Amino acid sequence: MPATLLDSEIFRDIFGTAAMRRIFSDQARVQYYLDIEAALARVQAHLGIIPANTAVEIVRNCHAEKFDMAKLEAATQRIGYPVLPVVQQLVALCADGLGEWCHWGATTQDITDTATILQIRDALALLEQDLAAIAAALASLARRFRDTPMAGRSNLQQATPITFGYKCAVLLSAFHRHRARLAELRPRVLAGEFGGATGTLASLGADGLAVQQALMAELGLAQPEIAWHSVRDRIAEVGCFLGLVTGTLGKIATDVKLMMQTEVEEVFEPFAAGRGSSSTMPQKRNPIFSAYVHAAAAMVRQHVAALLDAMVADHERSTGPWEIEWIALPEIFLLSAGALAHTRTLLEDLEVDPARMRKNLDLTGGLVVSEAVMMALGPALGRQRAHDLVYEICRDVLAGNGTFLDLLAAHPEIKPHLGRAALARLVDPANYCGLAGEMVDRILAAHAPPTRKPA
């Protein structure tokens, strides 16, 4: 019976995805083990290390559906690791004792680590699709709203104007970097493990490195330069990468939540009847996608810390830190998949209200662009005097002594340098978005999928 939200029949597709669960399921994990055992048998038969007929028989039985999962569970409980019970069942399935040649020269951690790398490879391929889709959605929003003015915010207060396209382009630039990181980490991370007891391949003698090279080629992984049984930076790097990705997703979710507030209402999550409704307040439309993204991103960060703990391993084969990865890594991938899926849907169908953005921008009657007036007066009055003068006028506006434009136009120090028409242009927030449009164009010009490096 499922006990966690990641396996719950009710919550599992909120906090994860079916495709990612399949990769980290018991059935899939056993099949990854068997894929490695089959590849090892083929390679060793080809190199003349084991008899050719044994490889045929071993490969014939390397199918997870032939395995008794209840027996596997019981044996794993007794032994402490699942690989040996898998090998025991494989040996029993093979006819004429030929299965005794399986797992030749390998150790439990070789199979476990290499299976983990195969899971990571397939899981990253899934996540890459969502990264590309999110980047495409942000590019579309940046292009569509390139010149749509809105209030930039600092410390939750209106700062100077930006455009909504600029806001989206800033996020798009992060996804360009995430996709580049993914391309860069693959060659480092997607290397298998095959070293025997302490990594020296002593059990295979002079054939060890040849078997290792051929096995990795068979599996489509890079050959490790040396054993990494207790040096876990590969696994930790993947976790840190997903911590960075979900951190950006959490930033998106936070901004959407804030922009959905009743007092703001500049964007909304995609509408579906009843979604986000309250049991007591019929008027509410809560930011559901964003809430789940926020929660998932927070949990990924905690699990990343656990993976970093798992790096502190003892000697050549560790006692305990390795098992941390078994708990943390699947949950990192599942939570990341859920957060990416929610963010993708959110951005692809985001509701944007440019009129409300403009209304909010006009709330201060031009005070939001007081910097523009100060900078325009600076050459004539000096920057400090211009600052102090505009500051005093802003205080008068806030005290209810007149509008910003009227007080500026009537001030005797300002009249000789700026007329009312020029001041009206200065206090229009749409005229003070700086080079937002040009920056959007630069990010959009760079919007192309990174070249994938071979593993």
| CA pair distance 390, 387, nearest whole angstrom | 5
Cα–Cα nearest to 298, from 261, 249, 265, 346? 249
- Give the E-state strand segments of 40-185 in sequence order: 149-154, 157-163
Residue 152 · residue 162 · CB < 8 Å: yes
| CB neighbour list of residue 257: distance below 8 Å, 6 or more residues apart | 287, 290, 291, 294
| CA pair distance 377, 329, nearest whole angstrom | 58
**Taking the CB of residue 198, how many other CB atoms lie within 10 A of it?**
14
| CB neighbour list of residue 420: distance below 8 Å, 6 or more residues apart | 405, 409
State how far the alpha carbon of 283 is from the alpha carbons of 172, 259, 274, 279, 289, in Å: 33, 17, 11, 10, 18
Place of tokens 């909504």: 164
Residue 246 · residue 294 · CB < 8 Å: no
Residue 105 · residue 73 · CB < 8 Å: no
Phi/psi of residue 50, each to 5°?
-125, 155
Place of tokens 């010149």: 147
Length of the chain counted residue by residue: 455
> Is residue 318 flagged as an active site residue?
no
Per the residue annotation, which of 22, 275, 277, 278 is the catalytic one?
278
Phi/psi of residue 392, each to 5°?
-65, -40
> Is residue 370 flagged as an active site residue?
no
Per the residue annotation, which of 60, 188, 317, 356 is the catalytic one?
317
Which amino acids are annotated catalytic?
Answer: 278, 317
